[in-house]
Copies of this chain bind each other. A is one copy, B any other.
Amino acid sequence: MDFNEELERRIIEADAFIRRYLPKEEGPAAAVAEAMNYSVLGGGKRLRPVMLLEMYHICGGADPEVVGPCAAAIEMIHSYSLVHDDLPAMDNDEYRRGRKSTHAMYGEAMGILAGDGLLNYAYETALLSLEKQCTPATARALGILARKAGIGGMVGGQVVDVASEGKQIPMETLEYIHENKTGAMIESALMTGAALAGASEEVLALAEQIGSDVGVAFQIRDDILDVTGDSAVLGKQVGSDEKNEKVTYVTLAGLEGAEAKVEELSRRAMKNVRRLPGDASFLAQLIASLINREK
C-alpha cells in the first residue's frame, strides 16, 4: 500500500472515531448539536487525530476504547477554534472550506455557543478515556490535551495573533504565534497519544519537540506557498499575505531564509522520529508530506 492509500485509510479511521463520539441531534438543545456537528463534519484532513492515533500505536497502545475518545476530542478542540476564529469580531470569515462558516449558517449567537459547546464536549468526550483506563498515564494525557489547547498553547497563540494584526512584529513574536497557534495542537496530538500509551518522560519530550518542529515548519511552508505557489494548485489566491501587509516568515527572513528554516526543522524532526520506540515509518512519511506539500 502506498502512502496516499495508507493516509486515506487513516483519515477514514479517524473520521469513524469522530463520528462515533459526536453528540446526537435530539432534545430541546438539538439545534446546538446540529451546529456543532456541521462544524466538525465540514471536511478537514483529520491531521491531529490521525497523528494522535499513530503515536498511540507507535508507543504500544492497543485499546480503541482508550484512544478513540481523545482522538475525537482533539478534533473537536480544533473545530471549536475555527468556529470562534471565523466570528465577525475575530477573522470575520463567512466561508470555510467552500461552505458557509458556522456563524454565517446559524447566526452569531449560535456560533459562539456551538464553539463553547464543542470545547466543553471535547472534555466530556476525552474523560471517557479515563473511565476506561483510570491510571496516572491517562491523567497525564488529559492534562497535556488541556494545557496545549489553553492560554499556554493554542489560545495564547490566538491572542498574540489578534494583538499583532496590522503591526510590524519581530521574528520572536511571529515564532511565538506559529509555535502556539499551530504547533501546540500538533504537539498535543503526538504527546497525548504517547501519554495514553504510557510513554516515558523521554518519549514525551521527543513527541513535543517533533510536534513543535512540524507545526512551525508547516506554517512557514504556508508563508512560502503564498509567495511561490500556483494559484490553481493551491485553490486560493497567491500573494494575499503581501496584499494584506501581513508579517510572515518570508517577509522577515526572505524566501531563502524561510526554505533554510523549513529544512532545518524538517531534519531535526526526522532525526527525532527515528528515535521513537516503535515503527514510525508512516509518521515520517506523513510529516514529510506536510512539510514539503505544494498546496
CB atoms of A127 and B155 under 8 A apart:
no
**Residue A242 lies at the interface, judged by CB distance under 8 Å to chain B:** no
Q: Known contacts A29-B152, A110-B159, A130-B142; can you find 9 more A-B pairs with CB under 8 A?
A: A28-B176, A29-B180, A33-B151, A80-B116, A89-B112, A119-B119, A124-B150, A131-B139, A134-B134
A138-180: which have CB < 8 Å to B? 139, 142-143, 146-147, 149-152, 155-160, 162-163, 173, 176, 180
- Describe A's contact surface by its main secondary structure: helix
Alpha-carbon distance A232/B292, docked complex (angstroms):
68
CB atoms of A124 and B110 under 8 A apart:
no
**Residue A71 lies at the interface, judged by CB distance under 8 Å to chain B:** no
Alpha-carbon distance A27/B163, docked complex (angstroms):
14
**What are 12 A-B residue pairs whose CB atoms fall within 8 Å in the complex?**
A27-B156, A29-B160, A32-B151, A84-B112, A89-B108, A89-B111, A113-B155, A119-B120, A124-B143, A127-B139, A127-B146, A131-B139
Contact partner of A117 among B124, B127, B150, CB < 8 A? B150
Counting every copy of the chain, the complex holds 2
CB atoms of B127 and A134 under 8 A apart:
no
Given A139-B134, A162-B109, answer yes or no on A151-B84 (Cβ-Cβ < 8 Å). Answer: no
A186 to chain B, nearest CB (A): 17
Spell out A's residues near B (CB within 8 Å). 23, 27-29, 31-33, 36, 80, 84, 87-90, 107-113, 115-117, 119-121, 123-124, 127, 130-131, 134-136, 139, 142-143, 146-147, 149-152, 155-160, 162-163, 173, 176, 180
CB atoms of A29 and B151 under 8 A apart:
yes
Residues in B with CB closer than 8 Å to A84 are 112-113, 116
Alpha-carbon distance A158/B110, docked complex (angstroms):
10
Alpha-carbon distance A28/B151, docked complex (angstroms):
10
A181 to chain B, nearest CB (A): 11
Given A151-B29, A155-B117, answer yes or no on A146-B123 (Cβ-Cβ < 8 Å). Answer: yes
Residues in B with CB closer than 8 Å to A124 are 143, 146-147, 150
A145 to chain B, nearest CB (A): 9
Residues in B with CB closer than 8 Å to A32 are 151, 155-156, 159
